Structure 1
């Protein structure tokens, strides 16, 4: 049995070696291009925020857009804004100042919100796919099945389920011991990169992380695939070639964004061995933090006449 003195010494060693801050490696190969990287990411960030905020504002300013589809879309845009805000501002400060350190508590906070909001976004994409399926494949039953009350209930479910799963995940990380090194091979506090720095036994955590990410991504992906498969079948049955072309044009643009998001996340999180591929994870994560938030407002509103009309009406009211 361990003596009390030995136990106290071990506890002191743990306290002394437990690190209090991490260093975000960001992009070491092109770190010398800090000013250029700052400008590129700043413009992408501002464009994403403005584009998504426009969707949110016109949805709630125009009563014609206060329907389940646009409520889901505005919630999706809000989560996108929050998601990139958890990552990009810190990245911008690193490019500008060169200070790459982040405290342990700030790192866990960033990890929690990035995973929490990311999970909500995936669940919302599944719900939005179902909404489109009902609108296109079951138009006569749509108003009965999907209304504002149901849409708010589904949004609440997305938030609640994500909060429970990610809170348990981050609490497990907070119990790990980190005693060096403290360099995170990423541009934000990604949990995969973080756990590789732990000197605790992380096998059970890695299993739980794999389970949570698999559940979130695969559940959303399966629902989305089923919904869009039925949409494609329904579109192919349309009598007018012009209607088919228009429907496929809209669906194809949606599928491009979905493919980018699901493809990058499957590549990052749904592989059993992560240790030797952290660099590729970093590049793939850029798709979700920079590319898709920039594309989403364009993809979901570019061909939407209702949104165009609502935007014109809102701007005309502002001028008056």
Structure 2
């Protein structure tokens, strides 16, 4: 029996959300709407930041990277999820599963580092404003953004290289809506302790170091803000950080719960719901958080909309 179960796996079955046909149709419509909305709003942010010179500042430069990242991020998981709602065949090839896992981990790790970089940018702007243009020069911003992407994809190579070399047993059902680390490790019938250890240590490294940078940055920011004499100036300074702080809280709360723990913990159905928060909900709400809390982005968007409305009225006449 052991030899029969320990066979070469060429594909997996993504269990997804097993429900009735009517509920699956409803979920398909909801997730499709969320996906299209997320892609549209993140593309709008990237376009606004790229085209309009008043947004060519370090804070918006990193925000543009974050928006582009989250458009890619949600595209790694949701299209396959949508397919599982409309077809009976819920299989994914071994190569496809490893590719999905690779890009998913890479983008998660990149976002962790990028959020830390954005916290450092706010620290430099509020705590050392006289040196801000030198500290966050265009070259420095490019280096920080490039480093975030390279580090994220390097860590992903490390994780996936260990996981892909494991032997997987039948049944080949992944109790998730995408190829995630924990359910894949639970399917392994080989010695997985090394892969679990590498994954756990790299997860702590990826999460805790950026989170420590964020905590230290905001501790310095809060101390500086409290020393500002006028309440109006204090509110203005804090408002530049509020949106980023909200995004950090949502993202790291979910990821720490899911990944900063040993892989021996079995994957349960409620983990799917938590995964929805940072794989689908967070990319959708982040543009709203940043745009609604940022006056410059709102003003730029309103100008574009008003200009288009004026052009449309002229063309109609």
TM-score by length of 1: 0.90
Tell me which moved more, 219-228 or 14-23: 14-23
1:82 Cα deviation (Å)? 0.4
Q: Hey, what does 1:96 align to over in structure 2?
A: 86
Q: Is the 8 A contact 1:267 1:281 kept in 2?
A: no
1:209 Cα deviation (Å)? 0.2
- Structure-1 separation of matches of 2:105 and 2:268: 17
1:145 to 116, 126, 135: 135
Aligned residue-pair number? 309
- Structure 1's unaligned 5+ residue stretches are 1-9
Q: Hey, what does 1:259 align to over in structure 2?
A: 249
1:60 to 22, 36, 50: 50
- Structure-2 separation of matches of 1:60 and 1:212: 34
1:76 and 2:66 are equivalent in the alignment? yes
- Structure-2 separation of matches of 1:215 and 1:36: 39
1:157 to 147, 154, 157: 147
Q: Hey, what does 2:315 align to over in structure 1?
A: none
SS at match of 1:28: coil
Q: Hey, what does 2:289 align to over in structure 1?
A: 299
Q: Is the 8 A contact 2:122 2:241 kept in 1?
A: no
- Structure-2 separation of matches of 1:277 and 1:191: 10
Cα RMSD between the aligned structures? 2.2
Deviations 1:24-67 (A, max 9, x none): 11123677610111111111111211111111001110122122
1:184 Cα deviation (Å)? 0.5
Q: Is the 8 A contact 1:18 1:180 kept in 2?
A: no
- Structure 2's unaligned 5+ residue stretches are 312-317
Change in CA separation of 1:279 and 1:73 when aligned onto 2, cut-off 3 Å: same
TM-score by length of 2: 0.90
**Hey, which bits of structure 1, 4+ residues long, moved more than 4 A?**
13-16, 29-32, 246-250, 315-320
- Structure-2 separation of matches of 1:127 and 1:301: 19
